[in-house]
Structure formats: structure tokens, C-alpha cells
């Protein structure tokens, strides 16, 4: 088991006080705090070897290029991909999904084709497909969710057909924390010849994820939700699929050659090798360096330990919250089938009221739809409050959280 008290020493922000109270950060599903190792890695890059990558033969550019390529390799190993060719750096999960939608979907989806999406998805795994369907005319079909927030696998098997070209689902729900059986879904999808895109924004930071074991075609996740900086994310894709796809953005770096034909008066263009084919322009180099530091930190902690710590905290907080009379928790009650995310409500108060009250005691949570309005509609909720945990959170923080909720009940 990891030691959260020792881990906390590496996170400067946790020493802050909010409204004269020690900061308790329970908004980790939105973004995580950064350890000194990540902060120092970014600082050292800018202080010692800042230069553009793959653009020059001078020392700084060579050093920056090596760091940036090493970052791709580290991420590939972290999720058990075949190599850096399958790792594309993007701005985040949202851009990764849009890349698949437009670089693959724009050329492969039409007419009677169908894309299956679950109703527990983040908007970033719904909106791009709805937008693209209006361009290409294919159908977006939705798979329902049970009353406890878990995926309805029977409904999924009834919905999939020979028309299904892509299945899109979250590995972990950002609202309930429920862990979906991605391996099962992928096996069924592949039997119908469909590809599988997994939103791993809430799973890669919390679980030991192997793309080979899951046998998925695409995986999207964000650096800032796994101790890394904002503005950097990852799209994993099977190499044979990425090779067949056309680029999403055009410009520098993603090309091998651009020549002008004097006869046709047109330019002839050939694409660069993977993964650079999908990384047009100057990339977020420092973000890649920071993400590499975050990945190395998590590897040192051990992803099995991360999952075990969160499961312990989740089980503890749900037990403590049973003491509350006006608080309702949504989603499954079994901590072993979910990551450390607790959506809840307090009778008579909006989620924003709850969040503001907690903030006055230095406790940070999320309120609103969490970019997953269809799932809230399933629960008949206008919004929800959400507490989410990570490696630096403790039982003492949960005790304080419950104490303040009791005050809210009295209020």
C-alpha cells in the first residue's frame, strides 16, 4: 500500500490554506495536482534545453527531440503499446476523440453505418459523433445504463449489428466511477467487425491499463488527470489502423515532402512516419516532458497501489456517508467495481450550494453536470455534487468532509 502522507510532501499546493482552512482537494476527476518531479522537469526543460523538435541539428534541438521522443516511448510502455509509433500526443482526451472522428470517421462512416455510444459518456465522446453524423449521414445509436449507473450489457448486445462500425465507451465513468468491462465489449465488437474507441481519461490515471490485454483499437486520455500538465494528452491507436488513416491537421512536421508540379500547378504531398503524421506544427514539448515525469512517478508508486488506495478510500467514505440523513449517493455502492468517484446530493440544496459551502471550509469538489448530462437525466438529476480522490488523499480528509456535510444538513 502507498503512503499518502509521504506522497503529500511532494505536492506543494497541498500546503495551501483556503479560507483559513487546510486545503482538501476532492476534485481529482476534473484535474489532479502536480508533484515536484513534474514541476521540476518542465522547469529544467525550459532552463536547459528549450528548442523546437525535429527542426535543427544543433545541440538544443537534438536534446529536446530526444526528450520528446522518450516521452512517447514512456507512455507506450505505460499502457503496454507496441511502441511510440502508436502514441500520438494531442491536447487532451477531447482532441484525441475528435482526431479519430474526423481522421477515421469522416472517410469510413456513411449511409446506414452506425456508431454505438453509451449514455454514460462524457460529452467529448458524444458531441463529435453527432456533429459528424450530420455531415456524413450515418446513425449514432445509444446504449442504455441501469439504475445503479452500470452499463446495460444486454442492451449493448441487442444494439450491435453488422451495421456497427465503431463502438465508443468510457473505461470509467467520470460521474459514478463505475468500471466498464471494456475487454468484453471489445470482444463482441470485433466479432461484428467494429472498431472500439475507449475514453480512458478516468482509467489510465487510476488503473493498470494494457491496450494489448483489452484488445482495443483506440484509447484516449489526458495528462492533467494523471499528475501531468494541462494541454497534453494521448491517442493510442493500433499501428495498422493509424497507417491507413489520413492526417487530422495539416502543416509542418506531419509531412515528409511537399513538391510543386509545374505541369498540374499543384503541390504533391507525402505524409511523415507515425506518430508525427498526426502531430502537425510545433508540439507541446514541455507538456510531453511533464507527462513523461508524471508517468515515471506513477510507475514508481505502482498502479496496483493506486487502485488499492482509492478502493480503500471509496469504501471508507461511502461507509461514513451512511451516517448522513439528507445525503444520497448515486451509482454502485460496491467500491471494488468503481474508481474513487462519489456523486451525491443533499436534500433541498443544489450541487452549487453544496460546493460553495464546502469551499468555505477549504474542501474542493465539483458541481454541475460534469459534462455528462444524459447520465444525469437517467438519474433524474438537474446536477450533482462530486467528490473524487487520488493518491494524496487521506481518511482524515474524508472525516473532515463528512463533518462539514453534517453541518450542511443542519443548515
The answer to whether residue 49 is catalytic is: no
From the list 197, 22, 186, 193, the residue with the least C-alpha distance to 98 is 197
Cβ count within 10 A of residue 102: 19
Q: Of the listed 49, 267, 339, 371, which one is catalytic?
A: 371
CA dihedral (97, 66, 293, 86) in degrees, to 10, reads 30
Return d(Cα 190, Cα 109) in angstroms, integer. Answer: 17
Contact 263, 106 (CB under 8 A): no
- Whole-angstrom CA distances from 273 to 111, 255, 279 are 32, 8, 10
173: which 3 cell numbers? 465513468
From the list 178, 189, 255, 192, the residue with the least C-alpha distance to 217 is 189
Q: Is 57 exposed, middle or buried (0-12, 13-18, 19+ CB in 10 A)?
A: exposed
Residue 185 phi/psi, 5-degree rounding, is -65, -40
Known catalytic residues are 371
Amino acid at each position: 500500500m502507498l503512503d499518502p502522507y509521504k506522497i503529500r510532501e511532494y505536492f506543494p499546493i497541498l500546503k495551501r490554506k483556503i479560507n483559513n482552512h487546510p486545503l482538501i482537494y476532492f476534485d481529482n476527476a476534473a484535474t489532479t495536482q502536480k508533484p515536484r518531479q513534474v514541476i521540476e522537469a518542465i522547469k529544467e526543460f525550459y532552463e536547459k534545453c528549450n528548442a523546437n523538435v525535429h527542426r535543427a541539428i544543433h545541440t538544443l534541438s537534438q536534446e529536446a527531440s530526444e526528450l520528446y521522443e522518450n516521452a512517447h516511448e514512456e507512455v507506450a510502455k505505460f499502457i503496454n503499446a507496441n511502441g511510440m509509433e502508436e502514441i500520438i500526443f494531442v491536447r487532451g482526451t477531447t482532441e484525441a476523440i475528435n482526431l479519430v472522428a474526423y481522421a477515421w470517421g469522416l472517410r469510413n462512416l456513411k449511409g446506414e453505418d452506425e456508431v454505438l455510444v453509451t449514455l454514460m459518456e462524457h460529452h467529448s465522446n458524444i458531441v463529435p459523433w453527432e456533429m459528424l453524423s450530420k455531415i456524413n449521414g450515418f446513425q449514432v445509436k445509444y446504449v442504455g445504463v441501469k439504475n445503479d449507473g452500470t452499463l446495460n450489457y444486454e442492451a449493448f448486445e441487442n444494439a450491435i449489428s453488422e451495421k456497427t462500425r465503431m463502438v465508443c465507451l468510457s473505461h470509467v465513468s467520470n460521474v459514478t466511477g463505475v468500471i466498464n468491462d471494456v475487454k468484453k465489449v471489445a470482444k463482441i465488437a470485433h466479432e461484428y467487425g467494429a472498431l472500439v474507441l475507449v475514453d480512458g481519461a478516468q482509467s489510465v490515471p487510476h488503473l493498470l491499463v494494457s491496450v494489448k490485454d483489452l484488445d482495443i483499437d483506440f484509447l484516449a486520455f489526458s495528462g492533467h488527470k494523471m499528475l501531468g500538465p494541462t494541454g497534453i494528452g494521448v491517442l493510442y491507436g493500433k499501428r495498422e489502423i493509424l497507417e491507413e488513416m489520413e492526417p487530422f491537421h495539416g502543416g509542418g512536421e506531419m509531412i515528409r515532402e511537399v513538391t510543386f508540379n509545374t505541369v498540374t500547378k499543384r503541390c504533391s504531398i507525402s505524409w511523415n512516419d507515425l506518430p508525427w503524421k498526426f502531430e502537425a506544427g510545433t508540439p507541446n514539448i514541455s507538456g510531453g516532458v511533464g507527462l513523461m515525469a508524471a508517468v515515471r512517478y506513477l510507475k514508481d508508486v505502482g498502479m496496483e497501489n493506486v487502485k488499492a488506495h482509492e478502493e480503500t478510500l471509496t469504501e471508507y467514505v461511502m461507509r461514513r456517508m451512511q451516517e448522513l440523513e439528507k445525503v444520497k449517493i448515486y451509482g454502485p455502492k460496491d467500491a471494488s467495481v468503481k474508481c474513487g468517484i462519489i456523486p451525491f446530493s443533499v436534500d433541498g440544496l443544489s450541487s452549487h450550494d453544496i460546493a460553495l459551502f464546502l469551499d468555505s471550509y477549504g474542501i474542493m469538489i465539483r458541481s454541475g453536470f460534469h459534462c455528462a448530462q444524459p447520465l444525469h437525466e437517467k438519474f433524474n438529476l438537474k446536477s450533482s455534487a462530486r467528490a473524487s480522490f487520488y493518491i494524496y488523499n487521506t481518511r482524515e480528509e474524508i472525516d473532515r468532509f463528512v463533518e462539514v456535510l453534517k453541518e450542511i444538513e443542519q443548515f
